Amino acid sequence: MSDCLFCKIVSREIPGSIVYEDDRVLAFNDINPQAPTHVLLVPKRHLASLNEATADDDRLIGELVRRAAAIAAERGISAGGYRTVFNTNRDAGQTVFHIHLHLIGGRGLAWPPG
């Protein structure tokens, strides 16, 4: 999608602080980190939100989640714990409509969220 911020990071049209890449997945540091680790994991193929995901996307969604766990392990925060979040639409505060999994950790996180 030509007007999608995260598609532009995938295509390198705008810069991202990339921490992982493979054929289907890109992970980059959030520009406004909410914790010592705050990474966004996105599929390279545009998908607006979890609402648009179908059974054909099951593998892709699994790859995002498992890659988040791998990045957490690399950073030594697995045992301490971390949070993985897909914000979907208005009530969850989704602002970028290219699905992204937040990996947030490296400090104690409050629950329930605001």
Residue 14, interface with Zn ion (CB under 5 A)? no
Q: Where are the alpha helices (DSSP H) in the chain?
A: 5-10, 58-74, 89-92
Q: What letter would DSSP give residue 110?
A: -
52 CA to centre of own chain: 16
- Shortest CB 53 distance to ligand AMP, Å: 15
CA 9 to CA 92: how far, in whole Å?
23
Q: Which of 11, 21, 22, 31 is in the footprint of ligand AMP by CB under 6 A? A: 31
- Shortest CB 50 distance to ligand AMP, Å: 11
Q: Which of 2, 3, 32, 91 is in the footprint of ligand AMP by CB under 6 A? A: 32
Among all chains, which residue has been given the structure tokens 């995260």?
A: 6
Binding footprint of ligand AMP on the chain (CB under 6 A): 5, 16, 28, 30-32, 40, 87, 93-96
Active site residues: 100
